[in-house]
Homo-oligomer: A and B are copies of this chain.
Amino acid sequence: MTKTYDVVGIGNALVDVIAHAEDAFLEEMGVERGIMTLINTDRARELYEAMGPGREVSGGSAANTIAGLAALGARTAYVGKVKDDQLGEIFVHDLTAQGADYFTPRAPKDHEADTGRCLVLVTPDSERSMSTYLGVSEFLAPSDIDEIQMARAEWIFLEGYRFDGPDSHAAFAKAIGATKRAGGKVAVTLSDPFCVERHRDAFRTMVREGADMLVANEHELKSLYQTDDLERAMALAEAEVPITACTVGPGGVHVLAGGARVHADAVATDVVDVTGAGDLFASGFLWGVVTGRDWMTAAQMGNVAAAEIISHMGARPEADLKALVGKVAV
């Protein structure tokens, strides 16, 4: 099958509601710092009522990666479920306006759940703490996976967060099968150490049996392999997956591929909001991979894209990402 897409992403379609908050507010409201917590409708209402004025920016981890790739010029599509409501309209607009294809059927107006949203509280240290109401994004089912679309992808990019939800494992299995049968490759991002905790066995199986690329940060990788030793975790990943990219926050990224290992320093910037750092690293890194760059260049492209996203509020690119990433040598 002709490969009409460089990357097709699958994940939770969410709109981020971003607000500044003091550490005391997080404590008072019982919000866990620096991670993603799943919340129900009642908790979403309670937290939203208590938090300060916000701004809404489309989000969703894999959707951020796809938006970044589209901004870089990649041929992309995204699969994730929204409802036929105003936030759903915003999500779809922002993604397609960036140049990505989106065909997932929207849940009808009378669906019990709404388009999902992520309440992002940014503390004075620029760290983000996320409380996610999945809404209809949780109901992505195998029937939402178009096998022809998967077959047209060089890469599919699977978001770890999407492991939460009744039909998600089956949906991922269908997507992986269709992609592999057509000679495509599978990239997996682990998303969050507690998400790994919830689904470790399924992650381990998928990574070992189906992943051609693994994108994770150090905490997620250590959680996956249940070790406190990052070197050991990276060695285990290297033995199972052809390409592993392990970000280490301000320490940059390690890439282990083809028996070699490279390290690329993070790009210095004024950090405003770390939301989307991992997602946009994946955009830049995948762009390097699909355009045939060497590992060091791809890693640097990832770091440049991550630096852009953490320099402002929100996890969708604001500056000319193509120009910034284009400055990376080669």
A residues whose Cβ falls under 8 Å from a Cβ of B: 17, 19-20, 48-49, 51-58, 67, 85-87, 90, 93-95, 97-98, 114-115, 314, 316, 318
Contact = CB atoms under 8 A, between A and B. Distances in A.
Contacts of A314: 55
8 contacts: A20-B318, A48-B93, A49-B93, A53-B94, A53-B98, A55-B56, A56-B57, A85-B85
Main secondary structure of the interface of A (DSSP, over half): mixed
Nearest to A83: B86
Given A85-B86, A114-B86, A93 B53 contact: yes
Contacts of A86: 85-87, 114-115
Contacts of A67: 53
Nearest to A58: B53
Contact of A53 (B19, B48, B51, B97): B97
A179 B318 CA distance: 45
A53 B87 contact: no
Nearest to A16: B55
Given A85-B86, A86-B86, A53 B316 contact: yes
Contacts of A20: 318
Contact of A56 (B19, B56, B316, B318): B56
A85 B314 CA distance: 23
